[in-house]
Amino acid sequence: MVYSDHESDPVIAMVGPLSRLATDSMRRSHTITTLCLLVCACAPALAQSAPYVLGVGDVVEVTVMGEPELTRVGGNALTIGPDGQIGFPPLGAIDAAGLTPEALANEIAAGLVDAGWLVSPRVTVTISQYNALKVNVIGAVGSPGSYPHQPDMRIRDAIAAAGGLLLAGESEASAARARILHTDGTVEPVDLDDALAGTGEAAQKTLAPGDTLVIELQIMVSVLGYVRSPGYFPVQDGTRLSDAVGLAGGADEDGDLTQVILRGADGSVRTTNLKALLVSGVGTDPVLSPGDAVYVPRESKEINVLGYVESPGQYERVEGDRVTDLITKAGGGINRPSGARSVYNSAGDLTQVVLTRRDGASQVLNLRAILEGEMESTSATDPLVEAGDTIYVPEERYEAVVLGHVVRPGRYLLLPGYKASDALAQAGGPLRPTTIPATTTAADLQRVSLYRADGDVLHLDMSFVLTGSEPTSDPEIMPGDTLVVPEAQNRVTVEGYVDNPGYYEFRPGERVSHAIGLAGGVLTNVGSRAEIMVRRADGTEIAVDLDENDIELLPGDSIRVPFARNRVAVVGYVRSPGLYEWHEGDRAVDLIALAGGPIPKTRNEKGGDFYHAALIRKVDGRDQIYELDLGAFYDDGVQEDDLELQPDDIIFVPRSDHTDYGGWLGNILSGLSAYNLADILFF
């Protein structure tokens, strides 16, 4: 039966959510009053200066007073993404970076009014994490880098965030010094002992956003040989060779300052005429690095044989001796045990022997073939030695390169016998995402390439590094090899009306619904499951209905969940009244079921009417009501009154104790004429 919207029956009180919607409509008919915006003060440290401006990485909490479904606090707080936006249902993406919290609150409140959700919203924006403000901690700390600035952040707070101070020895903390580099270019020294102990002025010193805290480690060097007090000495950054020799008391009566040897921790060797430098200022005075070793030789006609030989020391020169003769006197180069790969089983590299003359000139010699009897010795390949010469046999290492999606790409000195997995470990291992949603893709260990120095290319599956399974392909690294770890091409973007928009990784074969599930799912009754748009990396677009054509994901897909424009309202005495997305073919009983069905009867309360409902539809611009007698459907499956729905339909389920069906239908119709219910629900 169809009732005209000109019936004159008295208007009934709208029940439950229907009443609230009608009341909201009356409010909307009046002029909207001034919005009340409550914006919290930012950090105390910022309250006395200019208002804090939000930036990428900041986490904000949004509270809409009296509207818990719109409030995003605690674990549901919003992070400002790399594009400077936050995702705030039902308004979608909102530009936040560059705004103050008060300005962002105004934007959200105005959007809620424009969208018709609320009449006079009261919005609070609170900053829960100041990730856009950073301080830098560099130098002798466990994890140098940038860290979120906190109000009243002190020196020891920043050091703790960066993993604490490094150790100079195995059991004691090193002496160190610190200074602060301010953003205006000024430098401020810090008493690190007081700052760490919590005493004195340094303990109260706070860091400002953008400050850089520099921790300079006290390095250790050894000064050996013919000096008055040989030993292991702590020195500060910038200490030079002459300073180190001075710490050891200078050369003794037998020391030769014209041939001071500096062996670097990186394996390099250089000889300095320190006497000429000190007496006449001729030459250079090298700056020392951690782990350097300084050796002052004896002033004699003996020859020093140092490094990775069986018996390093000084040996008498015999007329006609060559470099190989002195290495033989020292027992030859150290041989590595078979199969050993540890630095504790290092070997001497006879292909890189360094001969340093008394005057400081040096040359690198490849003596392996001569010492193994495979080549004749000549003056060019195996020079004659002279009194005061130094021969150094370095540790056997070679260079390889690790590039791509690893923690520390670069060049590395490796030991013979190292495999591809060892080189990968030297570079810090593969990159892995550390956040959800992901901000970077993982390394693709199934497509690693090993480029040999001779031009060959090996394709490796190194997934065993993460799974712990037996290696399937882990070849030995050769000198000059380059290991390349590519980026995994398995990331998609999910945006729009989902709980957590962002970047997500997927596995081959997974579908659009899986990616949307990773993003927290479609926002209930707000986002559309039927009109999802998938944009491929090549620019093609595919419309997806998750209930019809859930397609497989491809790398680079961009998935957007739109606002559900086609909706049906279910109101009255049902368990979950509200708005539900419309799908073609939906019928009245389907939507009543989605709303949880009629409210069940109790001993004290009447429930919803299981057998009756009203369908409210706008026809030719006028609201019409259709009485639905659903008893025939429930009893015999007859669908005559189980009407097929259209977008913007409204289903009303009455109480089970009504007696005059025509009366309550007329009252609903009169209410529609007065308040235009369809316009209230579908703005």
In CATH, what number is assigned to the domain containing residue 676?
A: 3.10.560.10
279-316 pLDDT, tens digit per residue, is: 888 888 999 887 789 999 887 667 899 988 888 988 98
Which of 129, 157, 191 is the last residue in one of the domains? 129
Produce one character per residue of 333-357: b if its CB has 16 or more CB atoms within 10 Å, e if not: bbebeeeeeeeeebbbbbebbbbbb
**What is the greatest pairwise CA distance in the chain?**
131
φ and ψ of 2, to 5 deg = -110, 130
23, pLDDT greater than 60: no
Which DSSP category does 507 fall into?
Answer: -
One domain for residues 556 and 578: no
Please check the confidence at residue 344 and state whether its pLDDT lies above 80.
no
Rounded mean pLDDT of the chain?
A: 80
**Residue 27 maps to a domain:** no
Last residue of one domain, picked from the residues 424, 450, 485:
485
β-pairing verdict for 92-95 and 313-315 = unpaired
Q: For residue 246, is it within any domain?
A: yes
Over 60: is that where the pLDDT of 99 sits?
yes
- State both tokens at 386: 């002279």
Structure tokens at 517: 């599930």
Domain for residue 217, yes or no?
Answer: yes
Q: Which is more confident, 538 or 661?
A: 538
The amino acid sitting at 564 is A
Cβ within 8 Å of residue 371, ≥6 positions away: 324, 327, 328, 332, 333, 350
pLDDT at 140: 79
Q: What is the mean pLDDT of residues 360-383?
A: 90
The CATH number for 85's domain is 3.30.1950.10
| Vertex 490 angle, CA 488 and 493, to 5° | 130
Domain carrying residue 432: 398-485
Q: Is the pLDDT of residue 582 over 90?
A: no
Phi-psi region of 428 (alpha: psi -120 to 50; beta: other; left: phi over 0): left
Asked if 70 contacts 85 with a C-beta cutoff of 8 angstroms, the reply is no
Please provide the DSSP assignment of 174-222 as one string: PPEEEEEE-TTS-EEEE-HHHHHHT-HHHHH-BPPTT-EEEEEE-EEEE
- Distance CA(654)–CA(599), nearest Å, equals 10
**Strand 567-572 relative to strand 650-653, pairing:** parallel
Least confident of 215-219, 575-579, 610-614: 215-219
Torsion sign across C-alpha atoms 234, 237, 243, 245: positive
- What is the three-state SS of 140-173? CECCCEEEECCCCCEHHHHHHHCCCECECCCCCE
Residue 649 lies in a domain: yes
Question: What per-residue string of b and e applies to 63-88 under the rule 16 or more CB within 10 Å gives b?
Answer: bbeeeeebbbeeeebbbbbeebbbbb
Those residues whose C-beta lies under 8 Å from the C-beta of residue 328, and which sit 6 or more positions away, are: 371
- Distance between CA atoms of 285 and 282, rounded to whole angstroms? 9
Assign 3-state DSSP to the chain and report helix, strand, coil percentages, each to 5.
20, 30, 50
Which pLDDT band, with edges at 50, 70 and 90, does 72 fall under? very high
Average pLDDT of the segment spanning 512-535 = 87
- Structural domain tally of the chain? 6
**Same domain assignment for residues 282 and 158:** yes
E strand or H helix at 662, and its extent?
helix 661-675
Same domain, 416 and 390: no
Q: How confident is the model at residue 439 (pLDDT cuts 50, 70, 90)?
A: low
Q: Provide the token pair at 563.
A: 């606002």
- Cα angle 576, 579, 580 (rounded to 5 degrees) comes to 90
Read off the pTM: 0.32
Residues 145 and 263 in one domain: yes
Quick check: is 552 in a domain?
yes
Q: pLDDT category, 336, cuts 50, 70, 90?
A: low
Q: Can you read off the two tokens belonging to residue 508?
A: 């081959």
Within a domain: residue 153? yes
Distances from the Cα of 468 to the Cα of 200, 342, 446, angstroms = 51, 21, 14
Q: Are residues 311 and 347 part of one domain?
A: yes
**pLDDT (tens digit per residue) in 621-666:** 788 888 888 887 887 777 788 888 888 889 998 888 664 555 555 5
Instruction: For residue 368, tell me if it sits in a domain.
Output: yes
Based on the domain organization, do 163 and 261 belong to the same domain? Answer: yes
Closest CA to 572 of 17, 57, 116: 17
Q: Write the DSSP symbol of residue 631.
A: H
For residue 457, name the pLDDT band (cuts at 50, 70, 90).
Answer: very high
- Provide, rounded to the nearest whole percent, the portion of the chain with pLDDT above 90: 27
Q: How far apart are the first and last CA of the chain?
A: 28
**Cα 431 to Cα 225: distance, rounded to the nearest angstrom:** 46
Q: Is the previous residue joined to 90 through a cis bond, with omega within 30 degrees of 0?
A: yes
Residue in the block written with tokens 């016998």: 417
So what's the pLDDT on residue 656? 80
User: What's the confidence (pLDDT) of residue 391?
Assistant: 93
- CA dist 229 and 232 (Å) reads 10
Identify the pLDDT of residue 662: 55
Q: 496 with 639, same domain?
A: no
**To 10 degrees, the CA torsion angle through 34, 35, 40, 46?**
-60
Are the C-beta atoms of residues 424 and 471 closer than 8 Å to each other?
no
User: Which amino acid type is present at position 119?
Assistant: V
Question: What's the pLDDT at 592?
Answer: 92
Last residue of a domain, one of 469, 485, 501: 485
CB < 8 Å & 24+ apart, contacts of 244-248: 244/288, 244/294, 245/274, 245/294, 245/296, 247/223, 248/223, 248/294, 248/296
Tokens of 6: 């000109």
pLDDT class for 513, splitting at 50, 70, 90?
A: very high
- pLDDT one-digit tens code per residue, 497-510: 898 888 887 877 88
Query: Where residue 354 falls among pLDDT bands split at 50, 70, 90?
Result: very high
User: Is 663 within the bounds of a domain?
Assistant: yes
Give which of 682, 664, 683, 680 is closest to 15, Cα–Cα.
664
- Same domain for 383 and 308: yes
**Which whole-number Å values give the CA distances from 11 to 134, 181, 402, 543, 619, in the listed order?**
62, 74, 79, 44, 21
Q: Within this chain, do residues 315 and 290 fall inside the same structural domain, yes or no? A: no
The pLDDT tens digits of the residues spanning 127-173 come to 988 776 788 998 878 888 888 888 788 999 999 999 988 764 433 44
Residue by residue, what is the 3-state secondary structure of 512-528? HHHHHHHCCCECCCCEC
**Looking at the structure, do residues 282 and 161 belong to the same domain, yes or no?**
yes
Does 236 lie in the same domain as 367?
no
Indicate if 7 and 74 belong to the same structural domain.
Answer: no
Return the number of other C-beta atoms located less than 10 Å from residue 174's C-beta: 17
